[in-house]
């Protein structure tokens, strides 16, 4: 029997991040000395008070099905968090909980996209953005950027790409993989364009909102353009800030007609998120951020170490991130050079493969819609980040201009 797969699933692919991590893990299990800088997963443990809340939930029997939009107490905690940390007010029906922020995004597209609808995706982008659009029948429309532009979307290019079928714009800040942070003026300029196109919804991916290196509080489009709130879905979660990637709890805040539809989608896929995970997320959101400055300082130190190590390497250009877990590196200067074994480097995939052979696992920029670049995670031990920088510099020094 031949199993026929749907056209829908054939439009998407396995996450490049997951594939790169899997390859690195296989090599490490085979005894290779590989520094894994592929994944944006904090190396810090979940804070103790959050784990204790999960234990207490289990002990009290809070292990049953939960309402599809989320436990009310957690939704209220999200409401308070948005007021306290983001200076935004949302009615409770406009807040929905899911199994991670990725499901919030998927549900939003499933609830709003028809075949051929377009979603504007600034590049570089998180790979799940375009694949989630494709899976739900939409067409991602990529808006390219450059190192000189700081890998950020500007108002001119936004205006140029809005068309009759444009349904959404995705804004991610701090960016993954770029680490880019938009200034208030840049956000205001984007808002001016969006006001001229009221049919365009805006998805604000705020997962890295508190991982910033400029000392400023979290800021997004709605802080400078509150009139756009009725058209925005703000996406957040506990994975990055609270080192809770495995707990799988995310949230969305937006217009009630949208969040209601998202709950309908979720009711027919996974139903409500884990009861224990939601109890832990409630403790996270209500427990304060006193632990965070030390962690952000560690990420910033790692950023500085890696940027310093790679910034002097011939053939590499480093985009210094202003937030997030990643350093994004342009490697156009390495293309056309030859490895010690005589193999020519013709793409960022070739560069990443070579670096893996030299003991550093990265992800090719082609996975994020921008080549020739590669992404390195700083969400790992400082010593590992420093050693990775040394190995990459050493590997680049071995390359030859001709054979």
Residue-wise pLDDT tens digits, 247-291: 999 999 999 999 999 999 999 999 999 999 999 999 999 999 999
Degrees (nearest 5) of the Cα angle 364, 367, 373?
40
Token pair belonging to 42:
């904090």
Q: What is the pLDDT of residue 31?
A: 86
pLDDT given for residue 10 in this prediction = 87
Residue 386 CA: distances (Å) to CA of 301, 303, 309, 380, 381 = 10, 10, 8, 10, 9
The beta-carbon contacts of 339-348 under 8 Å, at least 24 apart in sequence, are 339/398, 339/399, 340/398, 340/400, 342/403, 344/403, 345/399, 347/371, 347/372, 348/372, 348/373, 348/374
- How far apart are the C-alpha atoms of 152 and 186, rounded to whole Å? 9
Per-residue pLDDT 10s for the chain (403 aa) are 689 898 888 888 877 777 778 888 888 888 889 899 998 899 999 999 999 999 999 999 999 999 999 999 999 999 999 999 999 999 999 999 999 999 999 999 999 999 999 999 999 999 999 999 999 999 999 999 999 999 999 999 999 999 999 999 999 999 999 999 999 999 999 999 999 999 999 999 999 999 999 888 888 999 999 999 999 999 999 999 999 999 999 999 999 999 999 999 999 999 999 999 999 999 999 999 999 999 999 999 999 999 999 999 999 999 999 999 999 999 999 999 999 999 999 999 999 999 999 999 999 999 999 999 999 999 999 999 999 999 999 999 999 986 5
CATH 3.90.1150.10 placement within the chain = 8-39+292-398
Strands 360-361, 35-36: pairing is parallel
End-to-end CA distance of the chain: 50
At 402 the pLDDT is 62
Domain with CATH 3.40.640.10 in the chain: 48-286
Partners of 220 in the β-ladder: none
Which of the four CATH numbers 3.30.420.40, 1.20.140.10, 3.40.640.10, 3.40.50.10490 does domain 48-286 have? 3.40.640.10
Between CA 283 and CA 74 the distance in angstroms is 9
Architecture of domain 8-39+292-398: Alpha-Beta Complex (3.90)
Which residue do the tokens 């009759």 mark?
164
pLDDT at 32 (0 to 100): 87
Q: 127 near 368, Cβ under 8 Å?
A: yes
């Amino acid at each position: 029997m031949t199993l026929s797969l749907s056209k829908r699933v054939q439009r998407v692919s396995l996450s490049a991040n997951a594939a790169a991590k899997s390859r690195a893990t296989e090599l490490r299990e085979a005894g290779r000395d590989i520094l894994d800088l592929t994944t944006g997963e904090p190396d810090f443990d979940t804070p103790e008070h959050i784990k204790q809340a999960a234990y207490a939930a289990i002990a009290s029997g809070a292990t049953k099905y939960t309402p599809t939009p989320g436990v009310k107490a957690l939704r209220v905690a999200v409401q308070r968090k948005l007021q306290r940390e983001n200076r935004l007010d949302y009615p409770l029906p406009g807040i929905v909980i899911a199994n991670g922020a990725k499901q919030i995004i998927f549900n939003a597209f499933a609830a709003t996209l028809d075949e051929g609808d377009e979603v504007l995706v600034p590049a570089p982008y998180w790979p799940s953005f375009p694949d989630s659009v494709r899976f739900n029948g939409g067409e991602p429309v990529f808006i390219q950027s450059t190192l000189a532009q700081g890998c950020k979307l500007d108002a001119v290019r936004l205006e140029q790409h809005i068309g009759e079928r444009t349904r959404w714009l995705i804004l991610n800040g701090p960016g993954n993989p770029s680490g880019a942070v938009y200034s208030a003026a840049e956000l205001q300029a984007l808002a001016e364009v969006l006001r001229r196109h009221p049919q365009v919804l805006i998805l604000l991916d705020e997962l890295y909102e508190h991982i910033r290196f400029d000392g400023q509080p979290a800021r997004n489009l709605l802080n400078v353009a509150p009139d756009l709130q009725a058209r925005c879905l703000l996406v957040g979660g506990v994975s990055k800030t609270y080192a809770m990637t495995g707990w799988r709890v995310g949230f969305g805040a937006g217009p009630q007609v949208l969040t209601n539809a998202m709950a309908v989608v979720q009711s027919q896929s996974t139903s409500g998120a884990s009861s224990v995970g939601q109890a832990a997320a409630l403790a996270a959101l209500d427990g304060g951020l006193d632990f965070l400055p030390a962690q952000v300082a560690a990420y910033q130190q790692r950023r500085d170490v890696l940027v310093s190590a790679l910034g002097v390497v011939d053939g590499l250009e480093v985009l210094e991130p202003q937030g997030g877990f990643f350093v994004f590196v342009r490697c156009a200067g390495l293309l056309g050079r030859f490895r010690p074994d005589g193999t020519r480097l013709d793409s960022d995939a070739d560069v990443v493969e070579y670096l893996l052979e030299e003991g550093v696992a990265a992800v090719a920029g082609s996975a994020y819609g921008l080549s020739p670049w590669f992404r390195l995670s700083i969400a790992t031990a400082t010593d590992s980040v420093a050693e990775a920088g040394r190995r990459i510099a050493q590997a680049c020094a071995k390359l030859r201009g001709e054979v």
